[in-house]
Amino acid sequence: MLLVALNGSPRRCGNTARLLQHAMEAVAGPGIETQMVHVSWALEDQDNPFCRQCSDPCQGKCWRGKRLEQAYATLFRADALLVGSPVYFGTLSGQLKAFWDKSRVLRRQYALLNVVGGALAVGSSRFGGQEDTLRAIHEIMLVHGMTIVGDGYWEEDCGHHGACAQKPAQADAQALERAAVLARRAVELAAATMGLRHR
C-alpha cells in the first residue's frame, strides 16, 4: 500500500510539511510505503505554473517530461492521499491550486478514482480559515472521484473534516494527534477498498 502526502506549501520544511510528516510516521510499518510530494518542487520547472487549457481534452503538454509528470506518476500509484495546505486568505495555497488545475488528464484517466483522501490545514491562528481550506481540498478530491475520510470514532477523532493546526504545527499537540488519526483512518479504508481502484 502506498500513502502519499502532498505538501501544498511553498515551504518544503514548514508547518504543513511537518504535520504531514507526523501523519506518515503514524502509519509507517511493514506493508505500507509512504512518500512526500512537494508541489513547490513539482512546479519548479514549469514554464507557466498555471493551467491555460491549451488543449481540450488535456494532453498534459505542459508537464510531460518535467517534474510535474513525476509527481502525477506518484499520485497514480497512491492508495491513500493526504493533502496539506497552509491557509492563505482563507483558502488553500496558490501553488496547490496550480498543481491540481494541471491535473485534468489524471481525471480523464480515472487515476484517483476511489483513492482514499484526507485533508490537513495549518493557519496562523486557531480559527484562521482551516476548515474552509479543508473543504476546498475536499472539492478537488470529489471532482477526482476520491473517497474522503473525516471524523471516525469518538476515541479516534481526526476532526470533522480533517486535521487543523495552528502554527507552529509541531507544538500543536491536538493537531499532531488528529493528523495521526487521519492517516490511520485513510490507511484503514484504503486496505478495505483495494479492489475498487483502477490500476
Domain CATH for 106: 3.40.50.360
At residue 124, φ and ψ (nearest 5 deg) are: -75, -25
pTM: 0.94
Instruction: Give pLDDT tens digits for 84-125.
Output: 999 999 999 999 999 999 999 899 999 999 999 999 999 998
What DSSP state is assigned to residue 144?
T
Q: Running DSSP on this structure, what letter comes out for residue 149? A: P
**How sure is the predictor about 160, in pLDDT bands with cuts at 50, 70 and 90?**
confident
Q: Which 3 state secondary structure label does DSSP give 48?
A: coil
Q: Is the dihedral angle over the CA atoms 134, 136, 137, 141 positive or is it negative?
A: positive
Q: What is the pLDDT of residues 62-80, one digit of tens each?
A: 999 999 999 999 999 999 9
Confidence category of residue 162, pLDDT binned at 50, 70, 90? confident
Task: Give me the chain's average pLDDT, please.
Answer: 93
Domain of 71 in residue numbering reads as: 2-196
Residue 198 has pLDDT above 90, yes or no: no
What's residue 44's pLDDT?
Answer: 96
Domain count across the chain = 1
Q: What are the start-end ranges of the H helices in 44-166?
A: 67-77, 94-101, 104-108, 130-143
Highest mean pLDDT among 21-25, 156-160, 175-179: 21-25
